[in-house]
Structure 1
């Protein structure tokens, strides 16, 4: 506390060492200490900037009012919240006693390299994975409830994800983790933790409109489609499908429309605006044109069924020049000798959507899986504490 503004690299290194030891007590330490770490980067020339000096003064003020942390009781349920900024991920672990939220642990992680470019939902997934690693003893000994406004539950409980999100979900399958919507904030220290977030307070993804750009490509050498989904937060997800069957241009346009709808619905979106350059498909879906060919009638029926469960759905036709990104993706997918880009989600489709075999339910009587499905989907548990404990173990 008696330190003056730092002027030498050794003094700044001493400061960062002290802050690392105090990390458990510091709310959002990654953001508070960012300027100090930047001044001692190996490739950067040392310079104590005005931003670093201002951050140092604010840090000293924060250290005067460090929160009181407690140790959790045996078998006590713990709760975790996340805060995501442009430069770091932060989490706070707390217990709830007599209606009050009590702080247990603060953790923070500074984003580096590719992590800075992760989509917003992946940053929340990384924050949960980071917390499970750094607080592993707490995750093993306690039930953890994650309070978040992001659609993480479906990803981490049903494993309907790909890439890094699927990897993180698999590594955390052994923990007893539940997901709930963020509740009212109790406690000043915790309120400060969330108040410092640089991300604006966004509505749930399902309440906002997703934009989807689609395009299909059918050539003599191959057929494929490209989808670009843009979330309400502005994150873009590129998705390419290559067909192992020969399709017409119109069939490819319908296939990519169905793929875009399914992708957004998997992210729990309920409002979708689709942009396509196919005049025929847009006209048939909107009712301006009549579908006469048997294949087009089947595709139209499936699209109507997919859109039926949405609160908002529009399909707009634009010139090909205004849909160049999706067009480039579709041409890439239809190329027979193209390599798979690392930044694009890739899938090979073996048959048409209208050729899928119908699934018939043979037996709808109750099975041993029903209780596990109810727990994973709705969080329902038996009233008996022993049975409840066994159910959580089986579900994991």
Structure 2
């Protein structure tokens, strides 16, 4: 950028902003990973390497979906939502939210789920594994139970609409002991 005689607009602003740093450019010697990327489309079909399990392997590398653990809690004085998001690389992000309105435990559970789904949607997630310790919410979303509660219907609708934005979603009920991180955050 510094070698160009006239810099305008965005490139000029970036060039000016980067002048305070000493930058050295080293070209990449070889692209070994590109060989695998070029090989796969020509030699494998999608059905050959996607299994029935949540995680699958491509050339010995396990591909995992994003994971969302959620939990909500409500008492007479406060309500909270806790979520733990785990990236495909295993990086965990724990978030805790204070719900500033009175609600039931099931509403708090739905709030936690909706908040987590909105975050993952904004991140561009396609495959998702959702785990929680509330059977009611998970069975509503899987279609096993009908949502007949008027107080939960808006939450159910919001969560269902958000789930439609993902390509593949797995819902898993886990015991409270296995959902302790999200439970503590809530």
Q: TM-score, normalised by structure 1?
A: 0.34
Q: Deviations over 1:118-154 (max 9, x none)?
A: xxxxxxxxxxxxxx79972399xxxxxxxxxxxxxxx
Corresponding residue number in structure 2 for 1:226? 82
Q: How many residues align?
A: 149
Bigger radius of gyration, 1 or 2? 1
Q: Where does structure 2 lack aligned partners over 5 or more consecutive residues?
A: 9-13, 38-62
Q: 1:116-127 alignment to 2 at 5 Å?
A: none
**Aligned Cα root-mean-square deviation (Å):** 3.1
Corresponding residue number in structure 2 for 1:328? 184
- Displacement of 1:246: 1.0
Distance 1:138 1:75, change over 3 A: farther
- Displacement of 1:191: 2.1
Corresponding residue number in structure 2 for 1:273? 129
Corresponding residue number in structure 1 for 2:53? none
- Displacement of 1:237: 1.1
Corresponding residue number in structure 1 for 2:27? 190
* Structure 1 residue 259 corresponds to structure 2 residue 77: no
* Structure of greater relative contact order (alpha carbons < 8 Å, 6+ residues apart): 2
* Structure 1 residue 137 corresponds to structure 2 residue 19: yes
> Structure 1 residue runs of 4+, over 4 Å off?
132-135
Distance 1:234 1:217, change over 3 A: same
Q: Where does structure 1 lack aligned partners over 5 or more consecutive residues?
A: 1-69, 78-131, 140-188, 196-200, 202-206, 331-396
- Displacement of 1:193: 8.2
* Structure 1 residue 248 corresponds to structure 2 residue 85: no
- Displacement of 1:297: 2.0
User: 1:277 and 1:75 mapped to 2: Cα distance?
Assistant: 61
Corresponding residue number in structure 2 for 1:299? 155
Q: TM-score, normalised by structure 2?
A: 0.70
* Structure 1 residue 210 corresponds to structure 2 residue 39: no
Is the 8 Å Cα contact of residues 121 and 165 (structure 2) preserved in structure 1? no
Q: 1:11-26 alignment to 2 at 5 Å?
A: none
Q: Deviations over 1:31-64 (max 9, x none)?
A: xxxxxxxxxxxxxxxxxxxxxxxxxxxxxxxxxx
Corresponding residue number in structure 1 for 2:5? 74
Q: 1:164-183 alignment to 2 at 5 Å?
A: none
- Displacement of 1:320: 0.2
3-state SS in 2 of match to 1:309: coil
Corresponding residue number in structure 1 for 2:146? 290
User: 2:151 and 2:89 mapped to 1: Cα distance?
Assistant: 37
